[in-house]
Amino acid sequence: MSAIKEEAIRLIQSLPEDCSIEDIQYHLYVWQKIENGLAAVESGRSVSQEDTERRVAEWVKSTGPNPQERGSDRGIS
């Protein structure tokens, strides 16, 4: 049996006996996302917190005035 199947079986077996199929799907989904994230970090496909904050700040500045402010310019609230 492959290592992935064995790990998935271990994960499912660790869940409560009364878990639903949705619970199983959710835990497998989260596990997959975590594995993908760890692989991205290992291969250098990640962005530091500082770079992320800088990018968001630049994005916010580039979107122009706040939409609520634009509406007030037109007499719209």
Q: Residue-wise pLDDT tens for the chain (77 aa)? A: 999 999 999 999 999 999 999 999 999 999 999 999 999 999 999 999 999 999 999 999 888 666 565 555 555 54
DSSP 27-58: HHHHHHHHHHHHHHHHTT----HHHHHHHHHH
Q: What is the pLDDT of residue 75?
A: 55
Q: What is the pLDDT of residue 48?
A: 92
Q: What is the pLDDT of residue 38?
A: 96
d(CA 39, CA 62): 32
Q: What is the pLDDT of residue 68?
A: 64
| Distance in angstroms between the alpha carbons of the first and the last residue of the chain | 62
pTM over 0.75: no
- Residue 68: both structure tokens together: 């609520």
- Residue ranges per structural domain of the chain: 3-61
